Chains A and B, each alone.
Chain A
Protein backbone atom coordinates (compact mmCIF):
# COMPACT_ATOMS: atom_id res chain seq x y z
CA UNK A 1 0.00 0.00 0.00
CA UNK A 2 1.29 3.39 -0.94
CA UNK A 3 1.25 5.41 2.27
CA UNK A 4 2.76 8.43 0.57
CA UNK A 5 -0.42 9.24 -1.31
CA UNK A 6 -2.12 9.99 2.02
CA UNK A 7 0.44 12.53 3.22
CA UNK A 8 -1.51 15.49 1.79
CA UNK A 9 -4.63 14.25 3.57
CA UNK A 10 -2.64 14.16 6.82
CA UNK A 11 -1.50 17.73 6.19
CA UNK A 12 -5.12 18.69 5.56
CA UNK A 13 -6.17 17.28 8.94
CA UNK A 14 -3.30 19.14 10.64
CA UNK A 15 -4.27 22.42 8.95
CA UNK A 16 -7.92 21.97 9.91
CA UNK A 17 -7.03 21.39 13.57
CA UNK A 18 -4.44 24.17 13.63
CA UNK A 19 -6.90 26.62 12.18
CA UNK A 20 -9.55 25.76 14.71
CA UNK A 21 -7.10 26.22 17.57
CA UNK A 22 -5.84 29.52 16.18
CA UNK A 23 -9.35 30.83 15.71
CA UNK A 24 -10.43 29.88 19.21
CA UNK A 25 -7.27 31.31 20.79
CA UNK A 26 -7.79 34.63 19.05
CA UNK A 27 -11.49 34.61 19.93
CA UNK A 28 -12.69 34.76 16.33
CA UNK A 29 -14.65 31.52 16.27
CA UNK A 30 -17.46 33.12 14.24
CA UNK A 31 -15.15 32.52 11.25
CA UNK A 32 -15.76 28.79 11.64
CA UNK A 33 -19.34 29.19 10.41
CA UNK A 34 -18.33 30.23 6.89
CA UNK A 35 -15.57 27.62 6.85
CA UNK A 36 -18.13 24.96 7.68
CA UNK A 37 -20.40 26.12 4.86
CA UNK A 38 -17.45 26.35 2.47
CA UNK A 39 -16.55 22.76 3.34
CA UNK A 40 -19.99 21.54 2.25
CA UNK A 41 -19.69 23.45 -1.02
CA UNK A 42 -16.22 21.94 -1.40
CA UNK A 43 -17.82 18.48 -1.51
CA UNK A 44 -19.56 19.50 -4.76
CA UNK A 45 -16.38 21.00 -6.12
CA UNK A 46 -13.98 18.12 -5.53
CA UNK A 47 -16.47 15.66 -7.02
CA UNK A 48 -16.90 17.91 -10.04
CA UNK A 49 -13.13 18.26 -10.37
CA UNK A 50 -12.75 14.52 -10.82
CA UNK A 51 -15.60 14.47 -13.36
CA UNK A 52 -14.21 17.41 -15.34
CA UNK A 53 -10.46 17.17 -14.81
CA UNK A 54 -9.92 13.43 -14.90
CA UNK A 55 -12.78 12.08 -16.99
CA UNK A 56 -12.98 15.26 -19.12
CA UNK A 57 -16.77 15.62 -18.93
CA UNK A 58 -18.12 19.11 -18.28
CA UNK A 59 -21.24 19.61 -16.17
CA UNK A 60 -22.88 23.02 -15.90
CA UNK A 61 -25.70 21.52 -13.88
CA UNK A 62 -24.15 20.31 -10.66
CA UNK A 63 -26.03 22.83 -8.53
CA UNK A 64 -29.09 20.80 -9.48
CA UNK A 65 -27.75 17.75 -7.63
CA UNK A 66 -26.83 19.87 -4.61
CA UNK A 67 -30.40 21.20 -4.65
CA UNK A 68 -31.90 17.74 -5.10
CA UNK A 69 -30.07 16.62 -1.95
CA UNK A 70 -30.90 19.74 0.04
CA UNK A 71 -34.55 19.94 -0.98
CA UNK A 72 -35.15 16.23 -0.38
CA UNK A 73 -33.76 16.56 3.13
CA UNK A 74 -35.75 19.76 3.74
CA UNK A 75 -39.07 18.38 2.50
CA UNK A 76 -38.76 15.05 4.30
CA UNK A 77 -37.71 16.41 7.69
CA UNK A 78 -40.29 19.22 7.86
CA UNK A 79 -44.03 19.68 7.32
CA UNK A 80 -46.11 16.57 6.84
CA UNK A 81 -43.28 14.01 6.75
CA UNK A 82 -40.94 14.79 9.66
CA UNK A 83 -38.81 11.74 8.89
CA UNK A 84 -35.54 11.00 10.65
CA UNK A 85 -32.66 12.90 9.01
CA UNK A 86 -30.78 9.62 8.57
CA UNK A 87 -33.67 8.23 6.58
CA UNK A 88 -34.04 11.41 4.55
CA UNK A 89 -30.30 11.37 3.83
CA UNK A 90 -30.65 7.83 2.49
CA UNK A 91 -33.64 8.85 0.38
CA UNK A 92 -31.82 11.93 -0.92
CA UNK A 93 -28.83 9.85 -1.99
CA UNK A 94 -31.09 7.23 -3.58
CA UNK A 95 -33.04 9.85 -5.53
CA UNK A 96 -29.82 11.48 -6.68
CA UNK A 97 -28.38 8.17 -7.84
CA UNK A 98 -31.53 7.38 -9.81
CA UNK A 99 -31.78 10.84 -11.41
CA UNK A 100 -28.05 11.06 -12.19
CA UNK A 101 -28.19 7.59 -13.66
CA UNK A 102 -31.23 8.23 -15.84
CA UNK A 103 -30.09 11.65 -17.04
CA UNK A 104 -26.48 10.47 -17.37
CA UNK A 105 -27.13 7.66 -19.84
CA UNK A 106 -28.27 9.94 -22.67
CA UNK A 107 -26.35 13.09 -21.66
CA UNK A 108 -22.92 11.49 -21.45
CA UNK A 109 -23.14 10.30 -25.04
CA UNK A 110 -22.89 13.96 -25.97
CA UNK A 111 -19.66 15.85 -26.38
CA UNK A 112 -18.38 19.39 -26.22
CA UNK A 113 -21.00 22.10 -26.62
CA UNK A 114 -23.81 19.58 -26.63
CA UNK A 115 -22.81 18.15 -23.27
CA UNK A 116 -22.41 21.66 -21.85
CA UNK A 117 -25.84 22.76 -23.10
CA UNK A 118 -27.55 19.54 -22.01
CA UNK A 119 -26.22 19.75 -18.45
CA UNK A 120 -27.06 23.46 -18.35
CA UNK A 121 -30.61 22.67 -19.50
CA UNK A 122 -30.96 19.96 -16.87
CA UNK A 123 -29.95 22.56 -14.28
CA UNK A 124 -32.50 25.06 -15.60
CA UNK A 125 -35.29 22.46 -15.46
CA UNK A 126 -34.51 21.59 -11.83
CA UNK A 127 -34.36 25.32 -11.01
CA UNK A 128 -37.74 25.94 -12.64
CA UNK A 129 -39.27 22.99 -10.78
CA UNK A 130 -38.15 24.11 -7.32
CA UNK A 131 -39.11 27.66 -8.15
CA UNK A 132 -42.57 26.79 -9.45
CA UNK A 133 -43.73 24.00 -7.13
CA UNK A 134 -45.60 24.53 -3.88
CA UNK A 135 -43.99 21.63 -2.01
CA UNK A 136 -40.59 23.25 -2.50
CA UNK A 137 -41.76 26.60 -1.18
CA UNK A 138 -41.46 28.35 -4.56
CA UNK A 139 -39.39 31.54 -4.34
CA UNK A 140 -39.14 31.38 -0.53
CA UNK A 141 -37.62 27.91 -0.37
CA UNK A 142 -37.96 25.81 2.78
CA UNK A 143 -36.97 26.99 6.22
CA UNK A 144 -37.06 25.62 9.79
CA UNK A 145 -35.25 22.45 8.78
CA UNK A 146 -34.30 20.67 12.02
CA UNK A 147 -30.77 19.69 13.00
CA UNK A 148 -29.32 16.31 12.02
CA UNK A 149 -28.32 14.32 15.09
CA UNK A 150 -25.54 12.06 13.86
CA UNK A 151 -24.73 10.61 17.28
CA UNK A 152 -26.14 11.50 20.67
CA UNK A 153 -24.65 14.91 21.44
CA UNK A 154 -23.38 15.48 17.90
CA UNK A 155 -25.86 17.46 15.79
CA UNK A 156 -25.49 19.21 12.44
CA UNK A 157 -27.10 22.55 13.18
CA UNK A 158 -26.30 26.25 13.16
CA UNK A 159 -25.83 28.41 16.22
CA UNK A 160 -22.81 29.53 18.16
CA UNK A 161 -22.92 26.73 20.75
CA UNK A 162 -22.24 23.91 18.31
CA UNK A 163 -19.90 25.82 16.01
CA UNK A 164 -16.73 23.87 16.73
CA UNK A 165 -18.24 20.41 16.50
CA UNK A 166 -19.97 21.33 13.23
CA UNK A 167 -16.69 22.60 11.83
CA UNK A 168 -15.20 19.19 12.55
CA UNK A 169 -18.20 17.29 11.17
CA UNK A 170 -17.93 19.17 7.87
CA UNK A 171 -14.19 18.74 7.62
CA UNK A 172 -14.41 15.11 8.55
CA UNK A 173 -16.72 14.64 5.56
CA UNK A 174 -14.39 16.57 3.25
CA UNK A 175 -11.36 14.58 4.40
CA UNK A 176 -13.24 11.34 3.92
CA UNK A 177 -14.30 12.41 0.42
CA UNK A 178 -10.76 13.45 -0.46
CA UNK A 179 -9.34 10.12 0.70
CA UNK A 180 -11.89 8.21 -1.36
CA UNK A 181 -11.09 10.31 -4.42
CA UNK A 182 -7.32 9.91 -3.93
CA UNK A 183 -7.84 6.16 -3.83
CA UNK A 184 -9.91 6.32 -6.98
CA UNK A 185 -7.49 8.52 -8.91
CA UNK A 186 -4.49 6.37 -8.08
CA UNK A 187 -6.19 3.18 -9.16
CA UNK A 188 -6.87 1.24 -12.32
CA UNK A 189 -10.25 3.00 -12.45
CA UNK A 190 -8.67 6.45 -12.16
CA UNK A 191 -6.30 5.62 -14.97
CA UNK A 192 -9.24 4.48 -17.10
CA UNK A 193 -11.04 7.78 -16.39
CA UNK A 194 -7.98 9.77 -17.45
CA UNK A 195 -7.62 7.68 -20.56
CA UNK A 196 -11.16 8.70 -21.57
CA UNK A 197 -10.03 12.30 -21.34
CA UNK A 198 -6.84 11.49 -23.24
CA UNK A 199 -8.54 9.75 -26.15
CA UNK A 200 -11.95 8.22 -25.80
CA UNK A 201 -11.60 6.16 -28.96
CA UNK A 202 -8.28 4.63 -27.91
CA UNK A 203 -9.58 3.97 -24.38
CA UNK A 204 -12.50 2.04 -25.79
CA UNK A 205 -10.20 0.09 -28.10
CA UNK A 206 -8.03 -0.88 -25.13
CA UNK A 207 -10.98 -2.46 -23.35
CA UNK A 208 -12.23 0.45 -21.22
CA UNK A 209 -16.02 0.55 -21.03
CA UNK A 210 -15.98 4.30 -21.54
CA UNK A 211 -19.74 4.83 -21.30
CA UNK A 212 -19.89 2.84 -18.07
CA UNK A 213 -17.01 4.69 -16.42
CA UNK A 214 -18.33 8.10 -17.44
CA UNK A 215 -21.71 7.23 -15.97
CA UNK A 216 -20.18 5.91 -12.74
CA UNK A 217 -18.09 9.04 -12.11
CA UNK A 218 -21.04 11.27 -13.05
CA UNK A 219 -23.24 9.51 -10.50
CA UNK A 220 -20.49 9.59 -7.85
CA UNK A 221 -19.93 13.34 -8.29
CA UNK A 222 -23.71 13.88 -8.15
CA UNK A 223 -23.87 11.97 -4.87
CA UNK A 224 -21.05 14.10 -3.41
CA UNK A 225 -23.02 17.21 -4.41
CA UNK A 226 -26.24 15.86 -2.92
CA UNK A 227 -24.59 14.95 0.39
CA UNK A 228 -23.14 18.47 0.53
CA UNK A 229 -26.66 19.80 -0.06
CA UNK A 230 -28.22 17.63 2.66
CA UNK A 231 -25.68 18.64 5.32
CA UNK A 232 -25.63 22.32 4.45
CA UNK A 233 -29.44 22.43 4.56
CA UNK A 234 -29.45 20.95 8.05
CA UNK A 235 -26.63 23.27 9.08
CA UNK A 236 -28.23 26.50 7.89
CA UNK A 237 -31.77 25.30 8.66
CA UNK A 238 -33.14 25.89 5.18
CA UNK A 239 -32.63 26.02 1.44
CA UNK A 240 -33.79 28.35 -1.32
CA UNK A 241 -34.07 28.16 -5.13
CA UNK A 242 -30.86 30.10 -5.71
CA UNK A 243 -28.96 26.97 -4.65
CA UNK A 244 -30.26 25.34 -7.85
CA UNK A 245 -29.52 28.34 -10.05
CA UNK A 246 -27.38 28.33 -13.16
CA UNK A 247 -25.07 30.84 -11.52
CA UNK A 248 -24.23 28.33 -8.77
CA UNK A 249 -23.38 25.66 -11.32
CA UNK A 250 -21.21 28.11 -13.23
CA UNK A 251 -19.50 29.06 -9.99
CA UNK A 252 -18.60 25.42 -9.28
CA UNK A 253 -17.15 25.07 -12.78
CA UNK A 254 -15.21 28.31 -12.29
CA UNK A 255 -13.68 27.10 -9.07
CA UNK A 256 -12.66 23.77 -10.58
CA UNK A 257 -11.05 25.67 -13.47
CA UNK A 258 -9.15 28.00 -11.16
CA UNK A 259 -7.88 25.11 -9.09
CA UNK A 260 -6.56 23.41 -12.21
CA UNK A 261 -8.86 20.89 -13.84
CA UNK A 262 -7.15 17.64 -12.90
CA UNK A 263 -6.20 18.70 -9.41
CA UNK A 264 -8.51 17.91 -6.51
CA UNK A 265 -6.25 19.72 -4.05
CA UNK A 266 -6.36 22.85 -6.18
CA UNK A 267 -10.14 22.54 -6.40
CA UNK A 268 -10.37 22.09 -2.63
CA UNK A 269 -8.13 25.05 -1.80
CA UNK A 270 -9.78 27.39 -4.29
CA UNK A 271 -13.21 26.10 -3.30
CA UNK A 272 -12.59 26.98 0.33
CA UNK A 273 -10.90 30.31 -0.35
CA UNK A 274 -13.41 31.63 -2.90
CA UNK A 275 -16.53 30.36 -1.16
CA UNK A 276 -15.26 31.73 2.12
CA UNK A 277 -14.60 35.17 0.64
CA UNK A 278 -17.97 35.12 -1.10
CA UNK A 279 -19.83 34.04 2.05
CA UNK A 280 -18.08 36.73 4.09
CA UNK A 281 -19.42 39.20 1.54
CA UNK A 282 -16.08 40.46 0.29
CA UNK A 283 -17.36 40.77 -3.27
CA UNK A 284 -20.54 42.64 -2.36
CA UNK A 285 -22.90 43.06 -5.29
CA UNK A 286 -20.06 42.13 -7.64
CA UNK A 287 -20.12 38.49 -6.52
CA UNK A 288 -21.31 37.07 -9.83
CA UNK A 289 -19.12 39.37 -11.91
CA UNK A 290 -16.15 38.22 -9.88
CA UNK A 291 -16.78 34.58 -10.69
CA UNK A 292 -17.43 35.39 -14.35
CA UNK A 293 -14.19 37.33 -14.50
CA UNK A 294 -12.04 34.65 -12.88
CA UNK A 295 -13.43 32.12 -15.37
CA UNK A 296 -12.20 34.25 -18.26
CA UNK A 297 -8.89 35.27 -16.74
CA UNK A 298 -8.03 31.69 -15.87
CA UNK A 299 -8.90 30.44 -19.34
CA UNK A 300 -6.90 33.24 -20.97
CA UNK A 301 -3.77 33.13 -18.86
CA UNK A 302 -3.77 29.96 -16.78
CA UNK A 303 -5.79 27.32 -18.60
CA UNK A 304 -4.25 24.70 -16.29
CA UNK A 305 -5.26 26.51 -13.11
CA UNK A 306 -3.32 28.94 -10.96
CA UNK A 307 -1.99 26.52 -8.36
CA UNK A 308 1.02 25.40 -10.35
CA UNK A 309 4.63 26.11 -10.94
CA UNK A 310 4.04 28.51 -13.82
CA UNK A 311 2.24 30.97 -11.57
CA UNK A 312 5.22 31.07 -9.24
CA UNK A 313 7.58 31.49 -12.19
CA UNK A 314 5.44 34.31 -13.56
CA UNK A 315 5.42 36.04 -10.20
CA UNK A 316 9.17 35.56 -9.86
CA UNK A 317 9.92 37.00 -13.28
CA UNK A 318 7.55 39.87 -12.56
CA UNK A 319 9.39 40.57 -9.31
CA UNK A 320 12.73 40.29 -11.10
CA UNK A 321 11.73 42.74 -13.81
CA UNK A 322 10.46 45.14 -11.15
CA UNK A 323 13.74 44.88 -9.26
CA UNK A 324 15.67 45.36 -12.49
CA UNK A 325 13.65 48.43 -13.31
CA UNK A 326 14.17 49.92 -9.86
CA UNK A 327 17.90 49.28 -10.07
CA UNK A 328 17.95 50.69 -13.59
CA UNK A 329 16.47 53.94 -12.34
CA UNK A 330 19.24 54.37 -9.86
Chain B
Protein backbone atom coordinates (compact mmCIF):
# COMPACT_ATOMS: atom_id res chain seq x y z
CA UNK B 1 0.00 0.00 0.00
CA UNK B 2 1.21 3.49 -0.80
CA UNK B 3 2.00 5.58 2.22
CA UNK B 4 -1.16 7.21 3.46
CA UNK B 5 -3.31 5.36 0.94
CA UNK B 6 -6.50 4.01 2.39
CA UNK B 7 -7.21 0.31 2.36
CA UNK B 8 -9.31 -0.55 -0.66
CA UNK B 9 -11.54 -3.58 -0.75
CA UNK B 10 -12.78 -5.14 -3.98
CA UNK B 11 -16.10 -3.39 -3.63
CA UNK B 12 -14.32 -0.09 -2.97
CA UNK B 13 -12.48 -0.53 -6.26
CA UNK B 14 -15.77 -1.07 -8.09
CA UNK B 15 -17.51 1.83 -6.31
CA UNK B 16 -14.64 4.22 -6.96
CA UNK B 17 -14.45 3.29 -10.63
CA UNK B 18 -18.20 3.83 -10.92
CA UNK B 19 -17.84 7.24 -9.28
CA UNK B 20 -14.90 8.21 -11.44
CA UNK B 21 -16.53 7.29 -14.76
CA UNK B 22 -19.96 8.59 -13.77
CA UNK B 23 -18.34 11.98 -13.18
CA UNK B 24 -16.88 11.79 -16.66
CA UNK B 25 -20.24 11.34 -18.30
CA UNK B 26 -20.67 7.59 -18.33
CA UNK B 27 -23.98 5.90 -17.80
CA UNK B 28 -23.46 3.29 -15.07
CA UNK B 29 -25.04 0.07 -16.28
CA UNK B 30 -25.41 -3.28 -14.58
CA UNK B 31 -23.39 -6.21 -15.81
CA UNK B 32 -25.26 -8.45 -18.20
CA UNK B 33 -27.32 -11.21 -16.60
CA UNK B 34 -26.20 -14.01 -18.87
CA UNK B 35 -22.90 -15.94 -18.80
CA UNK B 36 -20.32 -13.98 -20.80
CA UNK B 37 -16.61 -14.54 -21.33
CA UNK B 38 -15.88 -10.82 -21.19
CA UNK B 39 -17.51 -7.45 -20.61
CA UNK B 40 -17.24 -6.86 -24.34
CA UNK B 41 -19.97 -9.44 -24.93
CA UNK B 42 -22.59 -7.50 -23.01
CA UNK B 43 -25.11 -5.87 -25.36
CA UNK B 44 -24.07 -2.56 -23.77
CA UNK B 45 -20.81 -2.94 -25.66
CA UNK B 46 -21.48 -5.26 -28.57
CA UNK B 47 -24.44 -3.30 -29.95
CA UNK B 48 -23.62 0.21 -28.82
CA UNK B 49 -20.21 0.36 -30.49
CA UNK B 50 -22.03 -0.13 -33.81
CA UNK B 51 -23.58 2.80 -35.65
CA UNK B 52 -22.99 6.51 -35.34
CA UNK B 53 -24.46 7.45 -31.96
CA UNK B 54 -22.05 8.52 -29.22
CA UNK B 55 -22.07 6.25 -26.19
CA UNK B 56 -20.36 6.35 -22.82
CA UNK B 57 -20.99 3.49 -20.48
CA UNK B 58 -19.30 1.86 -17.49
CA UNK B 59 -20.31 -1.35 -15.80
CA UNK B 60 -19.08 -4.14 -13.55
CA UNK B 61 -19.29 -7.47 -15.36
CA UNK B 62 -18.56 -10.93 -13.92
CA UNK B 63 -16.83 -12.90 -16.71
CA UNK B 64 -16.65 -16.67 -17.06
CA UNK B 65 -13.63 -18.43 -18.54
CA UNK B 66 -14.06 -22.13 -17.75
CA UNK B 67 -10.56 -22.97 -19.02
CA UNK B 68 -8.97 -20.57 -16.52
CA UNK B 69 -10.29 -22.48 -13.50
CA UNK B 70 -7.60 -23.72 -11.11
CA UNK B 71 -9.68 -25.51 -8.48
CA UNK B 72 -9.13 -22.52 -6.21
CA UNK B 73 -5.42 -23.38 -6.08
CA UNK B 74 -3.86 -20.58 -8.11
CA UNK B 75 -3.35 -17.19 -6.42
CA UNK B 76 -4.12 -15.32 -9.62
CA UNK B 77 -6.45 -17.27 -11.89
CA UNK B 78 -10.12 -18.12 -11.56
CA UNK B 79 -12.84 -19.39 -13.87
CA UNK B 80 -15.06 -16.46 -12.94
CA UNK B 81 -13.49 -13.08 -12.45
CA UNK B 82 -14.80 -9.53 -12.42
CA UNK B 83 -14.22 -6.92 -15.03
CA UNK B 84 -14.94 -3.24 -14.95
CA UNK B 85 -15.79 -2.21 -18.46
CA UNK B 86 -15.75 1.30 -19.92
CA UNK B 87 -16.79 2.22 -23.46
CA UNK B 88 -16.06 5.71 -24.77
CA UNK B 89 -17.50 6.45 -28.20
CA UNK B 90 -16.15 8.32 -30.04
CA UNK B 91 -12.53 7.81 -28.91
CA UNK B 92 -11.48 10.70 -26.65
CA UNK B 93 -8.26 12.54 -27.54
CA UNK B 94 -6.66 11.85 -24.17
CA UNK B 95 -7.84 8.33 -23.39
CA UNK B 96 -4.53 7.25 -21.90
CA UNK B 97 -4.46 10.22 -19.54
CA UNK B 98 -8.07 9.64 -18.52
CA UNK B 99 -7.16 6.10 -17.67
CA UNK B 100 -4.10 7.19 -15.66
CA UNK B 101 -6.35 9.67 -13.84
CA UNK B 102 -8.64 6.80 -12.86
CA UNK B 103 -5.66 4.99 -11.35
CA UNK B 104 -4.71 8.12 -9.44
CA UNK B 105 -8.32 8.35 -8.26
CA UNK B 106 -7.94 4.83 -6.89
CA UNK B 107 -4.90 6.04 -4.98
CA UNK B 108 -2.07 4.81 -7.21
CA UNK B 109 1.07 6.96 -7.17
CA UNK B 110 1.91 6.62 -10.86
CA UNK B 111 5.40 8.04 -10.31
CA UNK B 112 6.64 5.03 -8.39
CA UNK B 113 4.96 2.21 -10.31
CA UNK B 114 6.05 0.88 -13.67
CA UNK B 115 2.90 1.34 -15.72
CA UNK B 116 3.42 0.12 -19.25
CA UNK B 117 1.26 -0.03 -22.34
CA UNK B 118 2.43 -3.32 -23.78
CA UNK B 119 1.09 -4.09 -27.24
CA UNK B 120 -1.65 -6.68 -27.24
CA UNK B 121 -4.28 -6.71 -29.92
CA UNK B 122 -7.61 -8.03 -28.81
CA UNK B 123 -9.83 -10.22 -30.95
CA UNK B 124 -13.00 -12.19 -30.42
CA UNK B 125 -13.28 -14.37 -33.52
CA UNK B 126 -16.65 -15.74 -32.45
CA UNK B 127 -18.14 -12.21 -32.36
CA UNK B 128 -16.31 -11.04 -35.48
CA UNK B 129 -14.80 -8.34 -33.29
CA UNK B 130 -11.27 -7.06 -32.98
CA UNK B 131 -9.31 -4.07 -31.82
CA UNK B 132 -5.82 -2.67 -31.50
CA UNK B 133 -4.25 -1.67 -28.23
CA UNK B 134 -2.36 -2.80 -25.20
CA UNK B 135 -2.46 -4.72 -22.01
CA UNK B 136 -1.64 -2.26 -19.29
CA UNK B 137 0.98 -3.68 -16.97
CA UNK B 138 1.59 -2.32 -13.50
CA UNK B 139 4.85 -3.59 -12.01
CA UNK B 140 4.49 -6.61 -14.28
CA UNK B 141 0.86 -7.30 -13.40
CA UNK B 142 -1.71 -7.01 -16.15
CA UNK B 143 -4.41 -4.79 -14.68
CA UNK B 144 -6.28 -3.54 -17.74
CA UNK B 145 -6.92 -4.20 -21.39
CA UNK B 146 -6.96 -0.95 -23.35
CA UNK B 147 -8.38 -1.33 -26.86
CA UNK B 148 -9.33 0.82 -29.80
CA UNK B 149 -12.26 -1.10 -31.25
CA UNK B 150 -12.04 -1.62 -35.00
CA UNK B 151 -14.76 -4.11 -35.85
CA UNK B 152 -17.77 -5.76 -34.23
CA UNK B 153 -20.02 -8.35 -35.82
CA UNK B 154 -17.77 -8.10 -38.86
CA UNK B 155 -18.73 -4.46 -39.36
CA UNK B 156 -16.04 -1.79 -39.55
CA UNK B 157 -16.72 0.75 -36.83
CA UNK B 158 -17.06 4.45 -37.58
CA UNK B 159 -16.67 6.19 -35.20
CA UNK B 160 -14.35 3.91 -33.28
CA UNK B 161 -14.76 3.27 -29.59
CA UNK B 162 -12.20 3.10 -26.82
CA UNK B 163 -12.68 0.12 -24.55
CA UNK B 164 -11.03 0.06 -21.13
CA UNK B 165 -11.42 -3.22 -19.29
CA UNK B 166 -10.04 -3.27 -15.76
CA UNK B 167 -9.39 -6.63 -14.12
CA UNK B 168 -11.04 -5.94 -10.79
CA UNK B 169 -9.28 -8.67 -8.79
CA UNK B 170 -5.88 -7.84 -10.25
CA UNK B 171 -6.36 -4.18 -9.50
CA UNK B 172 -7.54 -4.89 -5.96
CA UNK B 173 -4.58 -7.19 -5.32
CA UNK B 174 -2.22 -4.54 -6.53
CA UNK B 175 -3.89 -1.81 -4.49
CA UNK B 176 -4.01 -3.87 -1.35
CA UNK B 177 -0.54 -5.40 -1.74
CA UNK B 178 -1.92 -8.95 -1.69
CA UNK B 179 -0.16 -11.94 -3.28
CA UNK B 180 -3.20 -14.12 -3.37
CA UNK B 181 -6.61 -13.07 -4.55
CA UNK B 182 -8.34 -15.30 -2.01
CA UNK B 183 -6.86 -13.09 0.72
CA UNK B 184 -8.62 -10.03 -0.69
CA UNK B 185 -11.22 -8.26 1.38
CA UNK B 186 -14.33 -8.10 -0.79
CA UNK B 187 -15.83 -5.47 1.48
CA UNK B 188 -16.55 -4.96 5.13
CA UNK B 189 -14.12 -7.76 6.02
CA UNK B 190 -15.79 -10.50 4.00
CA UNK B 191 -12.91 -12.33 2.34
CA UNK B 192 -12.78 -13.31 -1.31
CA UNK B 193 -12.08 -16.88 -0.22
CA UNK B 194 -15.22 -16.93 1.86
CA UNK B 195 -17.26 -15.81 -1.12
CA UNK B 196 -15.57 -17.62 -3.97
CA UNK B 197 -13.29 -20.50 -2.99
CA UNK B 198 -15.95 -23.19 -2.96
CA UNK B 199 -17.42 -21.82 -6.18
CA UNK B 200 -14.03 -22.06 -7.88
CA UNK B 201 -13.45 -25.58 -6.62
CA UNK B 202 -16.85 -26.87 -7.72
CA UNK B 203 -16.88 -25.15 -11.10
CA UNK B 204 -13.34 -26.31 -11.88
CA UNK B 205 -14.37 -29.91 -11.25
CA UNK B 206 -17.47 -29.36 -13.36
CA UNK B 207 -15.74 -27.55 -16.22
CA UNK B 208 -12.73 -29.86 -16.49
CA UNK B 209 -14.10 -33.21 -15.40
CA UNK B 210 -17.85 -33.57 -15.18
CA UNK B 211 -19.55 -31.34 -17.72
CA UNK B 212 -21.73 -33.54 -19.93
CA UNK B 213 -20.17 -33.27 -23.37
CA UNK B 214 -23.06 -34.75 -25.30
CA UNK B 215 -25.58 -32.55 -23.56
CA UNK B 216 -23.51 -29.43 -24.24
CA UNK B 217 -23.07 -30.33 -27.90
CA UNK B 218 -26.82 -30.81 -28.11
CA UNK B 219 -27.45 -27.49 -26.38
CA UNK B 220 -25.08 -25.69 -28.71
CA UNK B 221 -27.13 -26.84 -31.69
CA UNK B 222 -30.44 -25.98 -29.99
CA UNK B 223 -29.21 -22.51 -29.04
CA UNK B 224 -27.95 -21.98 -32.57
CA UNK B 225 -31.32 -22.99 -34.05
CA UNK B 226 -33.18 -20.76 -31.63
CA UNK B 227 -30.97 -17.80 -32.56
CA UNK B 228 -31.61 -18.45 -36.25
CA UNK B 229 -35.35 -18.75 -35.68
CA UNK B 230 -35.44 -15.50 -33.72
CA UNK B 231 -33.45 -13.74 -36.43
CA UNK B 232 -36.10 -14.75 -38.92
CA UNK B 233 -38.52 -12.80 -36.73
CA UNK B 234 -36.17 -9.84 -36.60
CA UNK B 235 -35.78 -10.29 -32.83
CA UNK B 236 -32.04 -9.70 -32.82
CA UNK B 237 -31.79 -8.95 -29.09
CA UNK B 238 -33.08 -12.34 -27.88
CA UNK B 239 -31.18 -13.96 -30.77
CA UNK B 240 -27.99 -12.41 -29.38
CA UNK B 241 -28.73 -13.96 -25.97
CA UNK B 242 -28.69 -17.36 -27.62
CA UNK B 243 -25.35 -16.62 -29.27
CA UNK B 244 -23.98 -15.86 -25.80
CA UNK B 245 -25.35 -19.20 -24.62
CA UNK B 246 -23.66 -20.93 -27.58
CA UNK B 247 -20.44 -19.24 -26.62
CA UNK B 248 -20.60 -20.38 -23.01
CA UNK B 249 -21.42 -23.97 -24.03
CA UNK B 250 -18.49 -23.82 -26.44
CA UNK B 251 -16.15 -22.61 -23.69
CA UNK B 252 -17.08 -25.47 -21.36
CA UNK B 253 -16.65 -27.99 -24.19
CA UNK B 254 -13.25 -26.45 -24.85
CA UNK B 255 -12.25 -26.78 -21.20
CA UNK B 256 -13.28 -30.43 -21.47
CA UNK B 257 -10.90 -30.73 -24.47
CA UNK B 258 -13.88 -31.93 -26.47
CA UNK B 259 -13.34 -29.64 -29.44
CA UNK B 260 -10.94 -30.53 -32.25
CA UNK B 261 -9.22 -27.89 -34.30
CA UNK B 262 -11.43 -28.48 -37.31
CA UNK B 263 -14.55 -28.40 -35.14
CA UNK B 264 -13.35 -25.25 -33.42
CA UNK B 265 -13.15 -23.48 -36.75
CA UNK B 266 -16.62 -24.69 -37.67
CA UNK B 267 -18.30 -23.73 -34.37
CA UNK B 268 -16.58 -20.35 -34.31
CA UNK B 269 -17.82 -19.81 -37.83
CA UNK B 270 -21.39 -20.54 -36.77
CA UNK B 271 -21.21 -18.01 -33.92
CA UNK B 272 -19.45 -15.43 -36.06
CA UNK B 273 -22.08 -15.68 -38.79
CA UNK B 274 -24.88 -15.31 -36.27
CA UNK B 275 -23.16 -12.33 -34.64
CA UNK B 276 -22.69 -10.72 -38.05
CA UNK B 277 -26.35 -11.15 -38.99
CA UNK B 278 -27.42 -9.79 -35.62
CA UNK B 279 -25.10 -6.79 -35.94
CA UNK B 280 -26.45 -6.00 -39.41
CA UNK B 281 -30.02 -6.07 -38.15
CA UNK B 282 -29.08 -3.78 -35.28
CA UNK B 283 -27.41 -1.29 -37.61
CA UNK B 284 -30.41 -1.29 -39.95
CA UNK B 285 -32.71 -0.53 -37.05
CA UNK B 286 -30.41 2.09 -35.52
CA UNK B 287 -30.12 3.88 -38.85
CA UNK B 288 -33.89 3.78 -39.20
CA UNK B 289 -34.15 5.52 -35.85
CA UNK B 290 -31.64 8.16 -36.92
CA UNK B 291 -33.59 9.02 -40.01
CA UNK B 292 -37.01 8.74 -38.41
Q: Do A and B bind each other?
A: no
Q: Which residues of B contact A (CB under 8 A)?
A: none
Footprint of B on A, CB under 8 Å?
Answer: none
